[in-house]
Amino acid sequence: MIALLRCCIAVALPASQVAVAQVAQLPDFTYQGRLAQNGQPANGAFDLVFTLYDAEVAGHVVGTPQSEPQFPIVDGLFTVSLAFPGVFTGDQMWLDVSVNGQSLSPRQAIATTPVAQYALSGNPGPAGPQGEQGAPGPTGPQGATGAQGATGPQGATGAQGATGPQGATGAQGATGPQGATGAQGATGPQGPAGPSLLPFQVTVDTTADANTAYLGALPCPAGSVVVSGGISQPSVNNLAIALHENGPSSTNTWRWIYANTTASATTVRLTLVCVPSPSASAAAAPVGVPVATITPIMQP
């Protein structure tokens, strides 16, 4: 362990030195100290560094640090000559002593003797030589942001960027107003004629034998439906009975029951009224000749 047990600072200022001549005084002053190592007076060569500060703790370095490498120390005593040109202006200073890279605390306050180097008379002495630039102090606090400067001129337009992805489809807009009616188009070609829906008549003549009863049936042509039916005698009315009824729609047939009660044969006319089916196309118009079915049901 190294410790600085005692130190002092002194300068020689002759009393006869008055303002009779403007002679620059040297800035040197003497520093004496006693160094102990492990509780015993130190002996040997030590690297000494002397640094001047403007505060007892922390603070800023003033002037240029003075180095005395491998300075000989005998029985713990040493005396060095230090110089810090132009730094003593009346403010209190503190000296930091470093031995072999180890700073010894506390710092030593500088007595008033070195400050008196320009207090020998009422006339100021000449300015000393410019000292070396000291080490940079710590960065001060950030200053306030200055006022916004004027807007610079408009820069050149940059290159066209790449096209972005397709955005989502927007909502359906409102329907616009009805446009004006266009001109009448040309008349198209005449279409094929549709099936006729007018009723038509089917007539079948048949012979009725004497004293014979019959069951007659007559269907409408394909593509038409039965509407009504009738029975008549073209010449003389010899029919004693003339009955008729409408048969099931699935057969599309009109049925009759009639009888010839005379002693001689006669002609009977079966008449059927049909109408084309509404669902029939032109190609399915009623076709064919209906065939009557005549069945005797009673004979003498």
- Could you report the per-residue pLDDT of 25-69, keeping only the tens digit for each? 566 788 888 989 888 999 999 999 999 999 999 899 998 999 999
CA distance 96 to 50: 6
Stretches where the chain sits below pLDDT 50 are: 10-21, 115, 118-123, 240, 242, 244, 248, 281-287
Q: What token pair was written down for 268?
A: 């009977």
Is the Cα torsion angle 115, 117, 121, 125 positive or negative in sign?
Answer: negative
Q: What is the pLDDT of residue 27?
A: 67
Q: What is the pLDDT of residue 48?
A: 94
Q: What is the pLDDT of residue 160?
A: 93
Q: What is the pLDDT of residue 99?
A: 93
CA distance 242 to 232: 8
> Residue 83 pairs with which residues in a beta bridge?
28
Is the Cα torsion angle 124, 128, 132, 133 positive or negative in sign?
Answer: positive
Residue 8 CB partners (closer than 8 Å, separation 6+)? 31, 32, 33
Q: What is the pLDDT of residue 291?
A: 66
Using a 10 angstrom Cβ sphere, with 0-12 exposed, 13-18 middle and 19 or more buried, the burial of residue 274 is buried
CA distance 266 to 238: 8
Amino acid at site 280:
A
Residue 222 CB partners (closer than 8 Å, separation 6+)? 284, 286, 287, 288
Domains of the chain: 2-12+24-118 (2.60.40.1930), 200-298 (2.60.40)
SS3 152: coil
Place of tokens 């005449």: 190
CA distance 40 to 2: 9
Q: What is the pLDDT of residue 64?
A: 92
